[in-house]
């Protein structure tokens, strides 16, 4: 087990800056998830930790040791790849044992550790097969087996579940969480999928364009995003953003209602964020009138996709409201205490609604 | 329906005719190899009136066939092994690390597919390296001249091996040599088989390098030995046929066993374009 | 990654062999082509462009050899491509069964040693006793029973015929593979658009097959310009100089010790093929669009 420290690391391909002076510390034994839109540099950052990508500037420190110039094997890391990267010409057993063979362990020791890894992942019956004879989920297990057999200090996962179907993805996600509980190793995990991020992480790192937007616990990011980007990225369906302008002690939404606030914003234009789950039907809070476009019924709950008078799109969770059909005019109440306020530039304003 | 059958029958007759045209010359050699000298002088298609199996033993003794057989075998296997290995290594690093310099190097090497050999100055090189009239010299010559096409063939195939495999292997502790020999080389098997078969057949069939660079008949491969034998025994078509038959037998065996690989190699993107 | 998993020294063995036996002689040859280098004198004198002047002089025969080489290359390619395309279409559309067997047999001559092929055809093309003329006479075509390799007017074309026999299988196999990758939908769409068999061939098959045709043609140009063994063994340039090509002349220059002149001829060829090679590389490098 080991901590991982990134100090002012940068990465550029020629003149293209992919990672820009980034600082991050990852605690020993924690589960850290990198999320962010495609191309923001998540994989690059992970591969810099792995030692697969040279570091242009800054330091990568694993377990207190600067490893910029160390080979992957000297860093004590193991990696699970998105497309599994199993060696097609080797059996499952040989795949899992390959790193031990490279480390020149003797045959009985390899066999014993491969068996232990296989037992952890319940893939003993597959040991004699080749990757081509496995299903996607089984391949993923073997890929994880290949990582755990080495007892690495740090596990690196690059979108390990994105090639699996939805159902398998959920069950593998649970297994990875269990694995982390048992092994207690440091894990760094890259994903697009914010549900994976929310459910697995101790610490989420939200990235954009080679920079960190915010680091925090899942709850912290959900409750207290520092800017529009993070607010929009965390939470599903995503947070609604409504244009507004401040006036004395209150905020006037273009879509209709006025919210009373404490504190005085200094900007002209601002954005009010409110999550779909923070609306109420009825009640005495400020009311928004929307035209229902589509109602998505998920069984347990339903989402109402509508348009405000000001022409802004809005998603509202409507758990109990069964009667609404598209085209209806609906009035929904805002839970103002959950509303967040942003400058139009994106920065969060530390205001709260006055009750 | 009848029309359709007629068409199929016509197509088959044409295909059979084409196949016959390809096979008859070989059949001609095969039957005449068993005839008497007199009967073979006409080189006709009829079967031998008497079967002269001793033609083969005569040829083997007179034509020093064993020596030349082993020479051919040595040249073909050794140069094929060298070319295939060095080409695979070169194609691999050139294909994986696409820097400008390596890109240029790749084009520079495959340019050799088109370039002619200058036999005059090559003689000087052979003399300078003390390789003229040696078996090693011939082997290296063949190895060198097959490199451009082999690099080209393998380069295309390496692109189909995902780079993540390399990375997984590096994370598993591979060094460049173990990565290449334990992970990449086994995955290249199909294209290596194609390259090896084509190179083997190419060397076995060639007689130009020996013609230029081997003056001692003890070093001659089968092709050159046959040609020389033909010069001596022009009138004995039965013996010439027997000699030819023995020379092409290995070619035909290797071809029939390996035709699957030749086909897949030639048609997998590479040559087809 | 850090020390590089793809070290440049992997290229070294191949590069050293290639440079030593391929590039050094070719480049060195250009230098020697301006000399009177020969086997009967140890002196090598610079003689400027004399060798080239001789090669391109109408008084000498070298231009004829060049012309013979070109005729050989062009005619044999045309024949092989047309026949190969015909056979490929026949195997692809005509016959449904035994395709593999036919293909194996039609490709067989490609792998036979050229020298052996030449020897066999020396017998087959023998005007008096050869199989070809015996066959022609037996079916009453006595008029076509020609002096194949003996008559200077047709000897070159006889050699082209033998080369076609040997090489047509290569084109057939590659074009057949090309045909097999053309998606059926194109033909179905063309049928729906009312295209007949010929129109489908003309407007679907040929365009889709064009990249493959171009590649085999270019490879055959290279093969044709470098032709040696088939001519050497069938006629050795004769009768007279009727079938002399560049490489048979080069071998004669080699045997007779006219090294300076020989390197000049080789260098001319080097330039021609280097230009051709440039186009080959461009072709081979282009990614398949399908
Ligand atoms: N070898 C390279 N050369 C140049 N640019 C590269 C190279 N590899 C990656 N990039 C660029 O670096 C940026 C970050 O890529 P990276 O793969 O880290 O993104 P990512 O966040 O993992 O995206 P995704 O979610 O799609 O996997 C991208 O803009 C990409 O185009
Ligand atoms: Mg990625």
Confidence of residue C285 (pLDDT cuts 50, 70, 90): low
Q: Whole-number mean pLDDT of chain B? A: 86
Q: How far is B194 from chain C (nearest CA, A)?
A: 13
Residue of B nearest to A47 (CA): B167
Residue of A10, A19, A36, A42 best suited for mutating to test ligand 1, as the one with most atoms within 8 Å of CB:
A42
Q: How far is A49 from chain B (nearest CA, A)?
A: 11
Provide the pLDDT for residue C286. Answer: 58
Percent of chain C past pLDDT 90, that is, above it, reads 16
A54 pocket-lining for ligand 1 (C-beta < 6 Å) = no
Alpha carbon distance A199, B178 (integer Å)? 39
Q: How many domains does chain C have?
A: 1
A304 backbone φψ class: left, alpha, beta (φ>0; ψ -120 to 50): beta
Average pLDDT over residues B28-54: 80
Indicate whether A297 and A203 sit together in one domain: no
* Residue C87: CATH number of its domain: 1.10.3720.10
Indicate whether A27 and A158 sit together in one domain: yes
Query: Is B40 contained in some domain?
Result: no
Q: What are phi and psi of C199, to 5 degrees?
A: -65, -35
C286 vs B: CB within 8 A: yes
Q: How far is A204 from chain B (nearest CA, A)?
A: 25
Q: Is the pLDDT of residue C132 over 90?
A: no
Provide the pLDDT for residue C289. Answer: 37
Cβ neighbours of residue A99 under 8 Å, at least 6 residues apart? A73, A78, A146, A149, A150, B171, B172, B173
Cross-chain residue pair B168–A78, CB shorter than 8 Å: no
For ligand 1, what atom is nearest to the CA of residue A44?
A: 18
Question: Which run of H or E residues covers position B224?
Answer: helix B222-232
Q: Tell me: the pLDDT tens digits for C84-131?
A: 999 998 888 878 788 888 888 999 999 899 998 998 898 888 888 877
Cα(A80) to centroid(ligand 2), Å:
12
Average pLDDT over residues B161-185: 92
Residue C239 preceded by cis peptide, ω within 30: yes
Query: Is C197 contained in some domain?
Result: yes
Provide the pLDDT for residue A220. Answer: 92
A39 pocket-lining for ligand 1 (C-beta < 6 Å) = yes
Least trusted range by pLDDT, from A142-151, C73-82, C177-186: C177-186
Provide the pLDDT for residue B43. Answer: 76
Cα-based distances in Å from A306 to A17, A240, A251, A325: 40, 11, 22, 11
Cross-chain residue pair B187–A88, CB shorter than 8 Å: yes
Provide the pLDDT for residue C141. Answer: 74
Structure tokens at B250: 């290995």
Q: Is the pLDDT of residue C246 over 90?
A: no
Least trusted range by pLDDT, from A215-219, B36-40, B265-269, C256-260: B265-269
* Half-sphere CA count of C280, side-chain side, radius 13 A: 28
Show which subunits contact A, needing at least 3 CB pairs below 8 angstroms. Answer: B, C
Least trusted range by pLDDT, from B153-167, C11-25, C124-138, C153-167: C124-138
Ligand 1 atom 17: residue of nearest CA: A43
Cross-chain residue pair A54–C3, CB shorter than 8 Å: no
**Beta bridge mates, B212:** none
Taking 3-state DSSP, the helix, strand and coil percentages for chain C, each rounded to the nearest 5, stand at: 70, 0, 30
Looking at the predicted complex, does its ipTM rise above 0.90? no
* Residue A117: CATH number of its domain: 3.40.50.300
Provide the pLDDT for residue B269. Answer: 47
Cβ neighbours of residue B43 under 8 Å, at least 6 residues apart? B28, B32, B237, C123, C124, C126, C129, C130, C131
Tens of pLDDT, residue by residue, chain A (355 residues): 688 999 999 999 888 889 989 999 999 999 999 999 999 999 999 999 999 998 989 999 999 899 988 888 889 999 999 888 999 999 999 999 999 999 999 999 999 999 999 998 889 999 999 999 998 889 999 999 999 998 898 999 999 988 888 888 888 899 899 999 998 899 999 998 888 999 999 999 999 999 999 999 999 999 999 999 999 988 888 899 988 888 777 888 888 888 877 776 677 788 999 999 998 887 777 888 889 898 888 888 889 999 988 888 899 998 877 788 888 888 888 888 888 889 888 888 887 776 5
Strands, E assignment, C108-265: none
Ligand 1 atom 20: residue of nearest CA: A39
For ligand 1, what atom is nearest to the CA of residue A159?
A: 27
Cβ neighbours of residue A350 under 8 Å, at least 6 residues apart? A263
Confidence of residue B270 (pLDDT cuts 50, 70, 90): very low
Q: Is the pLDDT of residue C290 over 90?
A: no
C-beta atoms surrounding A337 within 10 Å? 11
Query: Is C122 contained in some domain?
Result: yes
Alpha carbon distance A347, A226 (integer Å)? 7
A13 pocket-lining for ligand 1 (C-beta < 6 Å) = yes
Closest-CA residue to A195 (of A157, A233, A141): A233
A240 pocket-lining for ligand 1 (C-beta < 6 Å) = no
Cβ neighbours of residue A209 under 8 Å, at least 6 residues apart? A20, A40, A41
Residue of B nearest to C166 (CA): B22
Q: Is the pLDDT of residue C3 over 60?
A: no
Q: What are phi and psi of A329, to 5 degrees?
A: -90, 125
CB B156 within 8 A of CB B270: yes
Q: Whole-number mean pLDDT of chain C? A: 83
* Domain region containing C123: 60-285
Q: What are phi and psi of A275, to 5 degrees?
A: -75, 155
Query: Is C34 contained in some domain?
Result: no
* Domain region containing A97: 4-232
Ligand 1 atom 5: residue of nearest CA: A13
Alpha carbon distance C207, C83 (integer Å)? 18
Q: How far is A277 from chain B (nearest CA, A)?
A: 41
Q: Is the pLDDT of residue C150 over 70?
A: yes
Average pLDDT over residues B225-233: 85
Query: Is C40 contained in some domain?
Result: no
Provide the pLDDT for residue B180. Answer: 95
Indicate whether A52 and A120 sit together in one domain: yes
What sign does the dihedral B41-B45-B47-B52 (CA atoms) show?
positive
Query: Is C248 contained in some domain?
Result: yes
Q: Which residue has the higher pLDDT, C235 or C39?
A: C235
* B45: nearest CB among C131, C229, C288: C131
Query: Is C22 contained in some domain?
Result: no
Cross-chain residue pair B172–A102, CB shorter than 8 Å: yes
Cα(A210) to centroid(ligand 1), Å:
10
Cα(B168) to centroid(ligand 1), Å:
18
Query: Is B103 contained in some domain?
Result: yes
C3 vs A: CB within 8 A: yes
Residues of B whose CB is below 8 A from C116: 205, 223, 226, 244, 247-248
Cα(A247) to centroid(ligand 1), Å:
44
Q: Tell me: the pLDDT tens digits for A7-58?
A: 999 999 888 889 989 999 999 999 999 999 999 999 999 999 999 998 989 9
Widest Cα–Cα separation across chain A:
77
Q: Which residue, of A232, A261, A279, is where some domain finishes?
A: A232
In the β-sheet with A270-274, what is the strand arrangement from edge to edge? Answer: A348-349, A340-343, A270-274, A240-247, A250-253, A258-262, A352-353
Residue of A nearest to C3 (CA): A71
Q: Is the pLDDT of residue B76 over 90?
A: yes
Provide the pLDDT for residue A163. Answer: 83
Residue of A nearest to B164 (CA): A85
Alpha carbon distance A64, B166 (integer Å)? 28
Q: Which residue, of A199, A232, A265, is where some domain finishes?
A: A232
Query: Is C215 contained in some domain?
Result: yes
Residue matched to tokens 């000001």: A310
Average pLDDT over residues C50-54: 80
Indicate whether A15 and A154 sit together in one domain: yes
Provide the pLDDT for residue C199. Answer: 85
Alpha carbon distance A113, A100 (integer Å)? 9
Cα(B252) to centroid(ligand 2), Å:
51
Indicate whether A166 and A297 sit together in one domain: no
Q: How many domains does chain B have?
A: 1
Cα(A34) to centroid(ligand 2), Å:
10
Question: Which run of H or E residues covers position C197?
Answer: helix C197-200
Indicate whether A143 and A209 sit together in one domain: yes
Alpha carbon distance B24, B174 (integer Å)? 55
C28 burial class (0-12, 13-18, 19+ CB within 10 angstroms)?
middle
Indicate whether A125 and A254 sit together in one domain: no
**CA angle, residues A278, A279, A284, in degrees to nearest 5:** 125
**With a CB-CB cutoff of 8 Å, which residues 172-211 of chain B face chain A?**
172-174, 178, 183, 186-187
Alpha carbon distance B239, B217 (integer Å)? 19
User: By three-state DSSP, how is residue A323 classified?
Assistant: coil
Q: Which residue, of A187, A217, A232, is where some domain finishes?
A: A232
* Residue B89: CATH number of its domain: 1.10.3720.10
Cross-chain residue pair A83–B174, CB shorter than 8 Å: no
Alpha carbon distance C52, C268 (integer Å)? 9
Alpha carbon distance C11, C6 (integer Å)? 10
* Domain region containing B234: 58-269
What sign does the dihedral B216-B218-B219-B225 (CA atoms) show?
positive
Residue of A43, A45, A49, A161 best suited for mutating to test ligand 1, as the one with most atoms within 8 Å of CB:
A43
pTM: 0.85
Show which subunits contact C, needing at least 3 CB pairs below 8 angstroms. Answer: A, B
Indicate whether A53 and A75 sit together in one domain: yes
* C229: nearest CB among B7, B151, B207: B207
CB A72 within 8 A of CB C5: no
* CA end-to-end span of chain C: 34
CB A285 within 8 A of CB A328: no
Q: Which residue has the higher pLDDT, B63 or C230?
A: C230
Structure tokens at B150: 């082999």
* Residue A336: CATH number of its domain: 2.40.50.140
Q: How far is A80 from chain B (nearest CA, A)?
A: 8
* B170: nearest CB among A52, A87, A89: A52
Q: How many domains does chain A have?
A: 2
Percent of chain B past pLDDT 70, that is, above it, reads 96
Closest-CA residue to B32 (of A261, C19, C130): C130
Indicate whether A314 and A226 sit together in one domain: no
Structure tokens at C166: 């040997």
For ligand 1, what atom is nearest to the CA of residue A36?
A: 21
* B125: nearest CB among C25, C94, C263: C25
Alpha carbon distance B210, B214 (integer Å)? 5
Cβ neighbours of residue B10 under 8 Å, at least 6 residues apart? C94
Alpha carbon distance B136, B142 (integer Å)? 10
A41 pocket-lining for ligand 1 (C-beta < 6 Å) = yes
Alpha carbon distance A76, B176 (integer Å)? 19
Residue matched to tokens 């080959």: C280
Closest-CA residue to B153 (of B207, B204, B90): B90
Q: Where are the alpha helices (DSSP H) in A122-246?
A: 136-148, 166-183, 194-200, 218-223, 228-233
Indicate whether A112 and A177 sit together in one domain: yes
Alpha carbon distance B227, C12 (integer Å)? 37
Provide the pLDDT for residue A1. Answer: 65
Ligand 1 atom 8: residue of nearest CA: A44
A15 pocket-lining for ligand 1 (C-beta < 6 Å) = no
Structure tokens at B4: 């359709």
Q: How far is B78 from chain A (nearest CA, A)?
A: 27
Indicate whether A144 and A293 sit together in one domain: no
* A87: nearest CB among B165, B170, B178: B165
Indicate whether A179 and A259 sit together in one domain: no
In total, chain A counts a number of residues equal to 355
Q: Tell me: the pLDDT tens digits for B79-117?
A: 999 999 999 999 999 999 888 888 889 988 988 888 888
**Beta bridge mates, A44:** none
Alpha carbon distance B256, A81 (integer Å)? 42
């Amino acid at each position: 087990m080991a901590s991982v420290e990134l100090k002012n690391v940068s990465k550029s391909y020629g003149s293209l800056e992919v990672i820009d002076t980034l600082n991050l510390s990852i605690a020993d034994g924690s589960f850290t998830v990198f999320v962010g839109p495609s191309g923001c540099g998540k994989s690059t950052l992970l591969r810099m930790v792995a030692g697969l990508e040279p570091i242009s500037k800054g330091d990568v420190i694993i377990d207190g040791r600067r490893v910029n110039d160390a080979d992957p094997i000297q860093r004590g890391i193991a990696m699970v790849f998105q497309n599994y990267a199993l060696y097609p010409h080797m059996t499952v057993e040989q795949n899992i044992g390959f790193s031990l063979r490279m480390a020149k362990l003797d045959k009985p020791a390899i066999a014993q550790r491969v068996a232990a890894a296989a037992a952890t992942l319940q893939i003993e019956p597959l040991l004699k097969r080749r990757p081509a004879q496995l299903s996607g989920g089984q391949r993923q297990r073997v890929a994880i087996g290949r990582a755990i057999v080495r007892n690495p200090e740090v596990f690196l996962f690059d979108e390990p579940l994105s090639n699996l179907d939805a159902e398998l993805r959920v069950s593998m996600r649970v297994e990875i969480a269990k694995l982390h509980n048992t092994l207690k190793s440091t894990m760094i995990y890259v994903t697009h999928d914010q549900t994976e991020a929310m459910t697995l992480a101790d610490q989420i790192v939200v990235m954009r364009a080679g920079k960190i937007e915010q680091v925090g616990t899942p709850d912290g990011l959900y409750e207290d995003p520092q800017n529009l980007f993070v607010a929009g990225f965390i939470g599903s369906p995503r947070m609604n953003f409504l244009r507004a302008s401040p006036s004395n002690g209150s905020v006037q939404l273009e879509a209709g209602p006025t919210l009373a606030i404490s504190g005085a914003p200094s900007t002209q234009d601002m954005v009010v964020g409110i999550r779909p789950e923070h609306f109420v039907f009825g009640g005495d809070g400020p009311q928004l009138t929307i035209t229902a476009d589509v109602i998505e019924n998920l069984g347990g709950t339903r989402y109402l996709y509508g348009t405000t008078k000001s022409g802004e799109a809005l998603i509202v969770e409507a758990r109990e409201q069964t009667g609404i059909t598209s085209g209806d005019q609906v009035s929904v109440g805002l839970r103002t205490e959950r509303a967040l306020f942003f400058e139009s530039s994106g920065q969060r304003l530390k205001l709260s609604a006055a009750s | 329906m009848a029309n359709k059958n007629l068409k199929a029958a016509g197509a088959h007759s044409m295909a059979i005719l084409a196949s016959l045209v390809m096979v008859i010359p070989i059949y001609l050699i095969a039957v005449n190899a068993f005839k008497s000298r007199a009967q073979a002088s006409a080189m006709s298609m009829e079967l031998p009136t008497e079967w002269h199996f001793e033609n083969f033993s005569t040829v083997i003794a007179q034509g020093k066939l064993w020596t030349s057989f082993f020479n051919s075998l040595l040249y073909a296997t050794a140069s094929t092994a060298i070319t295939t290995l060095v080409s695979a290594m070169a194609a691999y690093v050139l294909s994986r690390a696409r820097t400008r310099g390596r890109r240029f190097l790749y084009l520079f090497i495959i340019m050799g597919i088109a370039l002619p050999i200058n036999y005059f100055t090559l003689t000087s090189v052979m003399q300078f390296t003390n390789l003229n009239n040696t078996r090693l010299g011939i082997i290296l010559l063949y190895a060198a001249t097959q490199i451009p096409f082999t690099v080209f063939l393998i380069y295309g195939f390496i692109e189909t091996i995902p780079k993540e495999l390399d990375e997984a292997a590096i994370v598993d502790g591979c060094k460049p040599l173990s990565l290449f020999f334990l992970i990449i080389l086994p995955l290249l098997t199909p294209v290596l088989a194609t390259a090896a078969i084509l190179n083997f057949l190419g060397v076995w069939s060639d007689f130009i390098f020996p013609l230029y660079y081997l003056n001692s008949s003890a070093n001659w491969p089968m092709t050159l030995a046959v040609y020389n034998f033909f010069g001596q025994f022009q009138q004995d078509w039965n013996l010439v046929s027997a000699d030819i038959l023995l020379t092409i037998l290995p070619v035909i065996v290797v071809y029939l066993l390996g035709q699957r690989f030749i086909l897949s190699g030639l048609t997998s993107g590479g040559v087809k374009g | 990654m850090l020390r590089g998993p793809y070290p440049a020294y992997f290229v070294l063995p191949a590069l050293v062999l290639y440079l030593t036996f391929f590039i050094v002689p070719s480049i060195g040859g250009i230098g020697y082509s301006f000399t009177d280098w020969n086997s009967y004198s140890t002196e090598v004198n610079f003689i400027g462009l004399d060798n080239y002047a001789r090669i391109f002089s109408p008084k000498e025969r070298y231009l004829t050899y060049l012309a013979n080489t070109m005729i050989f290359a062009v005619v044999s390619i045309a024949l092989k491509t047309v026949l190969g395309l015909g056979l490929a279409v026949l195997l692809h559309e005509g016959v449904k069964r035994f395709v593999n067997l036919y293909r194996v047999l039609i490709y067989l001559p490609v792998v036979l040693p050229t020298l052996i092929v030449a020897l066999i055809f020396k017998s087959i093309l023998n005007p008096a006793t050869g199989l070809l003329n015996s066959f022609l006479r037996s079916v009453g075509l006595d008029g076509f029973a020609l002096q194949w390799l003996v008559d200077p007017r047709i000897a070159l074309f006889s050699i082209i015929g033998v080369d076609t026999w040997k090489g047509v299988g290569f084109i057939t196999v590659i074009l057949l593979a090309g045909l097999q990758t053309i998606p059926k939908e194109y033909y179905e769409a063309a049928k729906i658009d009312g295209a007949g068999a010929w129109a489908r061939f003309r407007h679907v098959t040929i365009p889709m097959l064009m990249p493959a045709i171009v590649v085999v043609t270019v490879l055959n140009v290279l093969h044709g310009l470098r032709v040696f063994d088939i001519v050497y063994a069938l006629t050795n340039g004769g009768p007279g100089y009727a079938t002399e090509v560049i490489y048979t002349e080069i071998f004669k220059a080699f045997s007779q010790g006219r090294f300076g002149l020989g390197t000049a001829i080789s260098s001319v060829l080097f330039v021609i093929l280097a230009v051709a090679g440039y186009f080959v590389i461009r072709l081979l490098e282009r990614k398949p669009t399908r």
